Structure 1
Amino acid sequence: MEILLIALYLFLVLQRVGELVIARSNRRWMLERGAREVGENHYFLFIVLHSLFFVSIGLEFYLTPFQWNPLFYPALSAFFILQILRIWCIATLGRRWNTRILVLPDEEPISKGLYRVIKHPNYVIVFFELIVIPVLFHAYLTALIFPFLHLMVLTVRIPAEEKALQERI
C-alpha cells in the first residue's frame, strides 16, 4: 500500500508541475492576444502554499507510521471525483485557464460548465483537495492547516480577480 501511495504522491507532484507548464503556455498565448495580468504581487503566495502542502504531506507521511484507515476509500473516491471536476474546469476554460489572473480585454468571462453554477469552481475544488489528498496519506495535520491557509490566500485573490473581470482591464 505504501508503494501505491508513493506513486500517487509522485503523480500529484508531476501533475501540478505539468499544470504550471500549461499555465505558462496559456499565459504566453493570452499576453500575445492583449491580455493584462493583475495580482502578480500575491501570486507567490500560491506557489509557497502549494509547495509547502506537498512538503507537509511528505513529512507527515514519512514521520508517522502507516496505519490502515477506514477513511481511505471514501477519500480516494472523493479524490477521483475532484480530479474529474478539476479537469472539467481546465477544459472549460481552455487556453484561458491559468494559475495567474489574466484577462483578455474584449472577452466575456466564461459562463459555461461548472462556471455556470458557481463563480470560482476551481478554488472550491482545490479547497476540498487540500482536505482529501492529505487524508489519503494519513497527513491529518496538513488536512487541517492547508485548507485554512488556502482560504486566507483567497481573501486576496478572489477580490483581485473579480475586480479584473469587472473592469476587463
Structure 2
Amino acid sequence: MRRITLSLFNILWLIVGLQRIIELGWAKKNADWMKQQGGYEVGSKHYPLLVNMHLLFFISTFIENLWRSKIIISWWWIPFLIFIFAQALRIWCMVSLGRYWNTRIWIVPRHSPCVRGPYRYLRHPNYLAVILEFLSFPLIFGAVVTSVVFSLVNLFILLMIRIPIEEQALKQGTSYEEVMTPTRFWPKQKSE
C-alpha cells in the first residue's frame, strides 16, 4: 500500500510540473495576442518575486517531505481533495478568461473585464485557487511548515502587492468599475 501511495505522489508531482510548464506556454501565447490587441503589461517588477516564490514553494515541499523521510500522513486525502478542487477552480478560471488568462497582469484597453464562469461570483477566483494550492499541496506530502509559511507569504504578496496593482490597472484601462461593485469580492449583477 505504501509503495502504491508513493507512486501516486510521484505521479502528482509530474502532473503539477507539466501543468506549470504548459501554463507558462499558454500565458506567453496569450500575452502575444493581447499585445497585438494593444494590450500592455502592468506590475512586471513584482513578477520575478511571484515566480521565485512558486519555485521555492515546490522546492520547500520536496525538501520537507524528504526531511520527514517521506512519511505519508494518514489524512493525506483531505488536502488532496482540496487540491483537486483548487485545480478545478483554476481550470474553470483559465477557460472562462480564455485569451485573457495570464500569469502576468495584462490590460487590453477598451476590452470588457470577464464576468463569466467563477468571475460572476468572485473578482479574483484564480487567486483563491492559488491560495488553496499553497495550503493543500504541501499537506498532501506532510510538509506542514511549508504549507503554513508559504501560505502566509503568498497571502501577503497577493493581498498587499498583486491584487491592488491589478485592480488599479483594470480600473484605469477597462470598464472594471462599471462591472464590479465597490466591495472586494462580488461583481455587480447586471439588471435586465
| Aligned: 1:158 with 2:173 | no
| Aligned: 1:89 with 2:100 | no
User: Secondary structure, in 3 states, of the residue corresponding to 1:102?
Assistant: strand
Divergent runs of 4+, >3 A: none
Structure 1 contact 131–147 (Cα < 8 Å) conserved: yes
- Identity between Structure 1 and Structure 2 (%): 38
Distance in 1, Cα, partners of 2:75 & 2:130: 19
Residue equivalent to 1:23: 27
Aligned residues between the structures: 169
Distance in 2, Cα, partners of 1:56 & 1:16: 17
User: Secondary structure, in 3 states, of the residue corresponding to 2:69?
Assistant: coil
Q: After TM superposition, list the pairs within 5 Å mapping 1:106-117 onto structure 2.
A: 106-117=110-121
Which structure is higher in helix share?
A: 1
| Aligned: 1:132 with 2:136 | yes
Shift of 1:73: 1.4
Distance in 2, Cα, partners of 1:146 & 1:152: 10
Q: Relative to structure 2, which stretch is displaced further, 60-69 or 97-106?
A: 60-69
Shift of 1:87: 0.4
Q: After TM superposition, list the pairs within 5 Å mapping 1:1-169 onto structure 2.
A: 1-154=5-158, 155-168=160-173
Stretches of structure 2 lacking an aligned partner (at least 5 in a row): 175-192
Distance in 2, Cα, partners of 1:60 & 1:115: 35
Larger Rg: 2
Distance in 2, Cα, partners of 1:28 & 1:34: 10
Structure 2 contact 73–141 (Cα < 8 Å) conserved: no
User: Secondary structure, in 3 states, of the residue corresponding to 2:45?
Assistant: helix
1:97-148 Cα shifts (integer Å, max 9, x gaps)? 0011101101111112111111101111110110111011111111001111
Distance in 2, Cα, partners of 1:71 & 1:118: 30
Structure 1 contact 13–54 (Cα < 8 Å) conserved: no
Distance in 2, Cα, partners of 1:87 & 1:133: 16
- Taking CA–CA contacts closer than 8 Å with sequence separation of 6 or more, which of the two structures ends up with the larger relative contact order? 1
Stretches of structure 1 lacking an aligned partner (at least 5 in a row): none
